[in-house]
């Protein structure tokens, strides 16, 4: 017997099973007549809402998304935040340093189906100091901060 040709595949015979109902990967059950989608109450009632302070993005009011559509819709929503950051950085004196999108996954406690539970976009925009008001504000703040860490006892 050659060890290199051994397989980990085993065939286990079964008997006494009159009918097997296959369960598909898309969470549907084949009843031999037609395929019916199965949706639990938790998935059916799940709502998404945007918690950011940007007024011009989707999901400012709660909306429902099916678990199978959650990746596409949540990632599209987060791309709206990135597009807004790109638009803000296109103004003179602004430069987009980074834009990171994180999608958060969840598992339904009722049916066990995975879905995108939400997302978070973090952006960093650098503004030049050509604004004279910004320079004056920084100088005024520096005047208040000078000597705050002075230790008179030493």
At residue 47, φ and ψ (nearest 5 deg) are -125, 150
Q: Domain of 56?
A: 37-140
Q: Is residue 9 part of a domain?
A: no
Burial status of residue 119 (CB atoms within 10 A of its CB: 0-12, 13-18, 19 or more): buried
Q: Is residue 120 part of a domain?
A: yes
Q: Is residue 65 part of a domain?
A: yes
User: Which mean pLDDT values do the consecutive 10-residue runs of the chain (154 residues) have?
Assistant: 49 54 55 63 88 84 87 91 90 88 91 90 83 75 69 60
Q: Is residue 133 part of a domain?
A: yes
Structure-token pair, residue 151: 């230790």
Give the model's pLDDT for residue 56. Answer: 81
Q: Is residue 124 part of a domain?
A: yes
How would you classify residue 112: left for phi > 0, otherwise alpha for psi between -120 and 50, otherwise beta?
Answer: left
Q: Is residue 4 part of a domain?
A: no
The domain tally of the chain equals 1
Give the model's pLDDT for residue 2. Answer: 47
Enumerate the β-bridge partners of residue 121.
101
Structure-token pair, residue 64: 């429902």
Q: Is residue 62 part of a domain?
A: yes
Q: Is residue 115 part of a domain?
A: yes
């Amino acid at each position: 017997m050659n060890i290199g040709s051994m397989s980990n595949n085993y065939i286990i015979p079964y008997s006494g099973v009159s009918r097997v109902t296959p369960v598909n990967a898309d969470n549907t059950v084949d009843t031999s007549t037609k395929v019916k989608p199965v949706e639990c109450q938790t998935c059916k009632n799940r709502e998404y809402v945007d918690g950011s302070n940007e007024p011009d993005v989707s999901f400012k009011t709660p909306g429902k998304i099916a678990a199978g559509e959650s990746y596409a819709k949540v990632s599209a929503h987060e791309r709206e935040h990135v597009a807004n950051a790109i638009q803000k950085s296109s103004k003179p004196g602004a430069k987009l340093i980074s834009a990171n999108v994180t999608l958060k996954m969840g598992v339904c406690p009722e049916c066990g189906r995975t879905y995108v539970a939400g997302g978070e976009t973090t952006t960093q925009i650098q503004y030049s100091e050509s604004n004279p008001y910004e320079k004056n504000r920084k100088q005024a703040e520096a005047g208040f901060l000078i000597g705050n860490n002075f230790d008179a006892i030493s």
